Structure 1
Amino acid sequence: MPRCFWCTQDPLYQDYHDKEWGVPLREADALFELLVLEGFQAGLSWFTILRKRERYRQVLFAFDPQALAAMSDEYLEQLMQDPGIVRNRLKLNAARRNAQAWLKLDDPVGFLWSFVGGQPKVNDFADRSQVPAVTAEAQAMSKALQKAGFTFVGPTICYAFMQASGMVMDHTRDCDRYAALRP
């Protein structure tokens, strides 16, 4: 099956590409998890985070925002010793802070989807050279999230989040998922 240029031959990555990436996601819990994981990905490959996703789910309370928001400094220090996750103090603190900010949003799903007008933005890219790293919508999302108290939500992270959550459909024309995800 032809896949997007970034998808390796690894079965975990292929499964993620084939079943998750670019599929419109409207469940609050799943969107929150993805936003936090995208923050952990900053400066790393998504595949690194994807391989650690199950461990993150275990140690970060299945990404329950209430539990994450209440994490103690002592617990964060324990996490710094866990080789199953990316041990980055700033990113771990951001997970807690982002949970606290998430809980203050009245309608987090509507808020996030508002940056694409509530519907997936379907792009029609022939190849990878056309796929942007940042868009005006991602810049606006980044600015609004930062204003709401989030961290590790720069424009590039926001665009990757938008792609992964199906807010934008960036499977290229040569990918088998392109036709399946077009309305």
Structure 2
Amino acid sequence: MPKRKAKHSGWTYGKRQKIPINLGDKEDNYSEEDQISQLPDVILISILSLLGIREAARTRVLSKRWICVWKQITCLNFDDIDALSKPQKKRRQRVKTTSSYNWVNQVLQLHQGPSLDEFKIRSSSLDYSPSSSEIDNWIEFAMWRRVQGLEIDLEAGRRSRFSSPSYIFPDKPFRSPFGISCIKSLKHLSLSFVNITGELV
């Protein structure tokens, strides 16, 4: 005696049936990426700012819109920039580290956001440290974007516990009226192994 088939709400019982993929109308069947992309830019920027810079940059492959969004993240945390690319041989250390600093400069050139919540640089290399002019440019970049939290950590670059810091915090960003207005946005400043002149204080 053949099995009876009962139909209920579009499902057929008896024989095995494939589970339907479309659970609603076509216009309601959005992918997860499409749903996220519908959010306003300000929310997307906030989300990406919680990620690492490399992870945020990878979202640019999603669409043309994401290419612009990741460039506006408000937190630039270059924590241990020397570890971005680990060399397999010690003789390649200088080349790899220099490449990491070039990557920092490239990120700053691409950044399009008008302001920054946080900007952090930490160098752990004993063999090669960024030049003073490089660090000056990074700090000036952050100050021009009215950064609220600035952290420069060069502690690992000292040769011994009795070494004196060789880098002097620049006063150039604060010489102009615009620079003075930018410093008013600064709420948190952390400097490790950095000299500060009396005039700047």
TM category (shorter chain) comes to under 0.3
TM, length-normalised to structure 1: 0.23
Q: Which has the larger radius of gyration?
A: 2
Q: Which has the higher helix share?
A: 1
TM, length-normalised to structure 2: 0.21
Q: Which has the higher strand share?
A: 2
Higher relative contact order (CA 8 A, sep 6+): 1
